Structure 1
Amino acid sequence: MQQKESIKKKWHFDFRKNMDTFSTLAKANPIKNQINKTSEEFASFGAIHLNNTSLEKSTNFWTKIVGMKLRKSTENSAEFGTETKTLVVVHQTAKTPFKKGYSGIYHFAIHAPNMGEFARMLHRLHDNNYPYSPVDHTMSKSLYLDDPDGINVEFTLETPERFKRVISDGGIKIEDATGNIRGASVYLEVDKILENLENKDLDKPLSKHTYIGHLHLYANNVQKANAFYKKLGFTQFNNFPEFMFADLGAGGPYQHRLAMNSWHGMEKPLAPADHAGMAHFQLNYSTKEKLSEALNNVTVFEEKNGYYCVYDPTGNKLLLTIEKG
């Protein structure tokens, strides 16, 4: 037990230094961004496709560590998700683990539908002694961990009711709903999360209401990428060009749906095809009209099997489609 605690504490400390990068970007121009409380989201994320080096290691990670169900597999690929939908598809095509310094995926997030399920995600990490970093962003509660190839994955519980606004006078801070000023990334008290654990059955997969809730990208040019995703229908939440960061919402109270940064360096290329990372992701539009509007805005796309393939300015591949009921 003592060894388990020491491992967790080391990862909490080291990992948080990385996650606090945005919160320690000092002396931004004064921007006070209050949440956009529109009622309906225009789109949601479908499955995210990853290139990995080992299907065996990936299967162990997504089933035992994350708690997803293996929905389908072939010799070189596997689909993972809930009882009713696929969330992650892994392709055994990489020869090299994920390496920093390239554009592409920064992390993506698996969102829990409620506190009880979020606590069960945390409990599963503890039960498997898997290293992670707990971070409280006020607008969400998060657990960060790496897959076997070093691709960063976030477990998230949305808590927009705790958030009031972003304050950037002298550094990025958050004002919460009660008027307290906090850092953008502070330590999440995991013991309080575990107090909400109702079901300790780890043989049961993730709730069918679990979903891919947001995506954070390394962009080779944040402003070009930001403009592109607004053409797809996303709305601005934060934009700090001085610090090479922006994020956007899709409607609804939680606005951090798609984020991008160039903290790895400007104009960095995508990783070579044989590196572990993101192959592509899927965006499901709520209506045909919303999809048509996006396609009219981007103009260049390829249609195949009901999907519309587009590429963002960095070179990331997206598949656009209509959300299926």
Structure 2
Amino acid sequence: MERKLFLKTILGASLVTSMDGFASIAHIISDMNKEQQTLEKFASFGAIHLNITNLEKSTRFWTEIVGMKLRITSGNTAELGTDVNTLVVLHETAKKKFQKGYSGLYHVAIHAPNIQEFASMVYRLALNKYPFSPVDHTMSKSVYLDDPDGINIEFTLETPERFKRVVTDRGLSIEDVNGNIRSASDGLDLDEVMSHLGSPNMDKIISNETYIGHLHLYANNVAKSNSFYQKMGFESFNNLPQFMYADVGAGGSYKHRIAMNSWHGVNRPLASGDSAGMRHFNIIFNSKEKLDLALSNLTDFKKKDDGYWFLDPSGNKICLTYS
């Protein structure tokens, strides 16, 4: 069977179209105030900690389907990631699967360092016939999938060089650098992505340059969450109250680092503690000065040996450190 026909066969068998219509806004990036944005990233994400129901099943998902390395296991906990970094920590503490309709995690995004690695991540899903939804946000190329507990995961390739501006005069669209007006959640050209695959090796774990690139949160109040993360030092990027959405950046050309929406409902609480979902996440500033600025603007924290702990307005737990 020819390579292209083979790819179409396995990709066609794996696609689903169940993405929430509002997910089109997940990567809406405007070009407002670009001159005020710093060129260098000043913060990144450490490991994200997830509460899950079955450690064996979730470990198999993150190793076989995502392609991560099992780095450490201890009791009901497992650390997974690359050869050099832990990206995800699993805690078998949940009694029930992810509960929809609550504040907390919308999705966590695993970012590929280049198109070849992104193609390899998508190919692994297709080869395992694992359901996913492919979406082109212009600012990025993405596929979405659920873990065994229903926690939404995104694989992302950052492509800010394709983006020009957001267009809102007739609904919500994106203009690319060539002047084309596109859907904010266009169809992803999987043939084009797969053309960069090369010779896949599914026994190889994901690249050491793979990283947690952004988090998208369900917020009980978008305005309060947006203000909170800006006080922490993140830069305002989009603020679209008419769509119950905002996002902030951490420097660099890709500015969608923490996104917030209330599409699940305003003033919704976190799900119960025995539900699968996000336990906490880590933000690592690249200087003590940036961390000190965050601490001076947000004084309600607890200092522990591993960093400074906060709750955002929705109740999400965050640990701040610097490198």
- Normalised to the residue count of structure 2, the TM-score between the two structures is 0.93
Aligned-partner Cα distance in 2 for 1:163–1:191: 21
After superposition, where does 1:250-261 map in structure 2 within 5 Å? 250-261=250-261
- What SS does the corresponding residue of 2:32 show, helix, strand or coil? strand
After superposition, where does 1:128-207 map in structure 2 within 5 Å? 128-207=128-207
- Report the equivalent of 2:3: none
Shift of 1:155: 0.2
- What SS does the corresponding residue of 2:198 show, helix, strand or coil? coil
- Unmatched 5+ stretches in structure 2: 1-5
After superposition, where does 1:293-308 map in structure 2 within 5 Å? 293-308=293-308
Shift of 1:157: 0.3
Shift of 1:316: 0.3
Aligned length: 315
Q: 1:23 to 1:260 in 2, by over 3 A?
A: closer
- Report the equivalent of 1:27: none
Shift of 1:8: 2.8
4+ residue segments displaced more than 2 Å: 1-9, 13-24, 31-38
- Report the equivalent of 1:20: 24
Shift of 1:74: 1.3
Paired residue type of 1:33: M
Tell me the C-alpha RMSD between the 2 structures: 1.9
- What SS does the corresponding residue of 2:193 show, helix, strand or coil? helix
After superposition, where does 1:214-229 map in structure 2 within 5 Å? 214-229=214-229
- Report the equivalent of 2:94: 94
Shift of 1:33: 3.1
Shift of 1:261: 0.2
The C-alpha deviation readout for 1:49-78, integer Å capped at 9, x for no partner, is 000000011110000000000000012010
The C-alpha deviation readout for 1:196-235, integer Å capped at 9, x for no partner, is 0124111111000000000000000000000000001111
Aligned-partner Cα distance in 1 for 2:33–2:161: 12
Shift of 1:5: 5.8
Shift of 1:7: 4.5
Aligned-partner Cα distance in 1 for 2:229–2:281: 13
Work out the percentage of aligned pairs sharing the same amino acid. Answer: 58
- Report the equivalent of 2:32: 33
Aligned-partner Cα distance in 2 for 1:153–1:321: 24
Aligned-partner Cα distance in 2 for 1:293–1:140: 30
Aligned-partner Cα distance in 2 for 1:39–1:171: 31
Shift of 1:180: 1.1
Matched, 1:268 2:272: no
Paired residue type of 1:47: A
Shift of 1:191: 1.3
The C-alpha deviation readout for 1:142-199, integer Å capped at 9, x for no partner, is 0100000000000000000001111211211111111111111011011110110124
* 2:69–2:205 Cα contact (<8 Å) kept: yes
- Normalised to the residue count of structure 1, the TM-score between the two structures is 0.93
* 1:221–1:314 Cα contact (<8 Å) kept: yes
